[in-house]
Chain A
Amino acid sequence: MSGFDLGALDAESWHRILAGLAVTCKLAAVSLVFASLIGIVVGTLRWANLPVLRQITWLYVEIARNTPPLVQILFWYFSASVLLPAWAFVPLRDAGYEFSAAALALSLYHGAFMGEVFRAGLNSVNAGQFQAARALGMSFLQLMTRIVAPQVARITAPPMVNEAVALVKSTSLALAIGVAELTYQYKHIDNFMFRGFEALMVITIIYLTLCLALSLFGRLLGHRLSRPRGSAPGQAAA
């Protein structure tokens, strides 16, 4: 055992770690955007309880929530050659679609959880709010955006941020299909430079920092949203 020595990580290793961090951030950001969109759409559809769409969205949510995220990543990566026609698959393969497959899998996996968060948020808005807004003559779109959405945002912000933290952690699974993210770079440093322990410490601290920062942001957001803005009497309204 050679002992722990951060100085033993050479310039190339540091370069790889930074490049991996960039890929991790990009994968997390892209997946987060799509997962949120999926969550909002699926959550709203599940809440609205429309025929046919209800069964379809239910099936999606149950499949996505009850299979391992790693299996889902492998599925989207290795099924592309089967699911897609050759004219679509070949250019995709040549361009490299590991990143896209991982982003798709993570978006679908976390989108299902976010959909449930969002549905619960919509359910928590009192039916009287809809009646009052409609009685004032608001259109359905107006009542959803001006009355329902602000109340849902307040309730769902903390669990949505929790899901974002989970998503950042799941990006490490993308190493299984060769996405050069942070954990992939650790494996490379371990395999070829034999400085696995040091590299592992560094990426652990990076993940910890990312996730703690996100949680902190979530807590601040929760605090800010949990009380209506300027609720002190006498404060000017916007």
Chain B
Amino acid sequence: MGAVGAPTAPAGAEVVRLTGIWKSFGATMVLRGIDLAVSRGEVLALCGPSGSGKSTLLKCINGLELVDRGEIVVGGHRKQFTRFGTLDPRIGMVFQSFNLFPHLDVLQNLVIGPRLVIDTPRKAAEERALAYLERVGIADKAHAYPETLSGGQQQRVAIARALCMEPEVMLFDEPTSALDPEMINEVLDVMTDLAGDGMTMIAVTHEMGFAREVADRIVFMDAGQIVESGPPEEFFQSPKEERTRQFIGKILRH
């Protein structure tokens, strides 16, 4: 497998540190004092009922959402985001609804970021794009347009697009929630493969199988707070908090 983005921080070092994050939408308090640190190479699964603030928290890390209060440090740099400001290209993001650019073919979707943002020469950008397409298993679709691809294929393209920026950390916002059941695994396989290669990942997910098998740590959020955090076996087998037990009871019933 090709090399994942050249790390600037040594293994085990902190890639993301959030301190005292508060965030509200109007009168609704969405995040209430979140502290979270993610080390290089760590795979973190962010779980919780809908409305618990996990997607918002994820978007605060790369500045798509602005925090009211708190400190965000990524790769050792304290982040000051603004509403229209340019975001850090080394924080990759994959969205629930893929968000591929419909007017560009797959290869162009992958090349436009490196070309515009980090001035990569066209040839180098295309070679890297094709390598990542190979890696997510759809090299044959390089010249197809997004609308002609299945949801699973689109999401794999979206992952490759983020990887082309050689990110230090990848954020996944419910990457399989918009997919038909038979396509979920092809996306989870790519994510598992990435995790195995040492990519630092923070994934908001409802896929408990993935969380259990692949994540190093599960963070459970409810009502804008981190309720519990720990390794998967501990989280599933001996949860400390009552709210965690209720949540696990609900999702594992079937």
Contacts and interface: CB of A to CB of B under 8 A. Distances in A.
Interface of A: 126, 128-129, 131-140, 142, 146-147, 150-151, 154, 228, 230-231, 233-238
A237 B108 contact: yes
Contact of B97 (A128, A134, A231, A233): A128
24 contacts: A129-B101, A131-B59, A131-B93, A131-B95, A133-B101, A134-B86, A134-B87, A135-B162, A136-B161, A136-B165, A137-B90, A137-B113, A137-B165, A138-B113, A138-B116, A142-B116, A142-B117, A228-B104, A228-B147, A231-B145, A231-B147, A233-B143, A237-B143, A238-B108
Task: Categorize the interface residue count of chain B.
Answer: 35 or more
Contacts of B161: 136
A56 to B, nearest CB: 21
Contacts of A151: 102-103
A27 B46 CA distance: 61
Given A228-B104, A230-B143, 12 more contacts: A134-B64, A135-B64, A135-B93, A136-B161, A136-B165, A137-B90, A138-B113, A139-B86, A140-B86, A151-B103, A228-B105, A233-B148
- The 4 A-B residue pairs with the shortest CB-CB distance in the complex, in nearest-first order: A137-B89, A132-B99, A128-B99, A136-B113
Interface string B219-231: 0000000000000
B87 A154 contact: no
A142 B119 CA distance: 13
Contacts of A236: 143
Contacts of B141: 233
A133 to B, nearest CB: 8
B163 to A, nearest CB: 11
Contacts of B113: 136-138
B88 interface: yes
A235 B143 contact: yes
Interface of B: 59, 62-64, 84, 86-93, 95, 97-105, 107-108, 112-113, 116-118, 141-145, 147-148, 158, 161-162, 165
Contacts, number: 88
Interface centre among B104, B108, B141 (most CB of A within 10 A): B104
A237 B130 CA distance: 13
A140 B84 contact: yes
A212 to B, nearest CB: 29
Contacts of A126: 97, 99
B86 A228 contact: no
A146 to B, nearest CB: 7
* SS class, residues of chain B in contact with chain A: loop
A148 B133 CA distance: 25
Nearest to A227: B145
B183 to A, nearest CB: 19
Contacts of A140: 84, 86
Given A131-B64, A138-B113, A147 B143 contact: no
Contact of A137 (B87, B98, B101, B158): B87
Contacts of B63: 134
B124 to A, nearest CB: 16
A235 B148 CA distance: 14
A129 B158 CA distance: 12
B168 to A, nearest CB: 13
A233 B147 CA distance: 12
A160 to B, nearest CB: 17
A146 B84 contact: no
Contacts of A138: 86, 113, 116-117
B204 to A, nearest CB: 14
A150 B116 contact: no
Nearest to A131: B64
B112 A146 contact: yes
A66 B24 CA distance: 40
A131 B99 contact: yes
